[in-house]
Amino acid sequence: MRPVAISVDEPDVSRDLAKKAGYTFPILSDPDAGVIRRYHILHPKGGPDEHDIARPAEFRVDSSKIVRWCNFTEDVRVRARADEMLAAARQLR
């Protein structure tokens, strides 16, 4: 199991963010929001200059590509804590 992020940002923007924040997991670029739309987490015009962005959400996807757990909120300040995500992952083993 490994974390992966998906962003509407271009790859270079995500790379810079990851470097500055010290992230060691990949941040995939979805500038057309195709994947983000499939997970129903698009926030139209929610970003700077009314750009579309992804709503905050965390998913646990198994090796068969089935979503086994998710945390979705409307508030960008509310995210799943690491211990919540780890507990969800342990239950799926």
Rounded to whole angstroms, how far apart are CA atoms 78 and 90? 22
Residue 15: is it exposed, middle or buried by C-beta count within 10 angstroms (0-12/13-18/19+)?
A: middle
Please state the φ and ψ torsions of residue 27, each to the nearest 5 degrees.
Answer: -115, 110
Residue 1: what pLDDT? 67
pTM: 0.69
Residue 13: what pLDDT? 92
Q: What is the mean pLDDT of each run of 10 residues along the chain (93 residues)?
A: 84 92 90 90 87 85 85 74 79 71
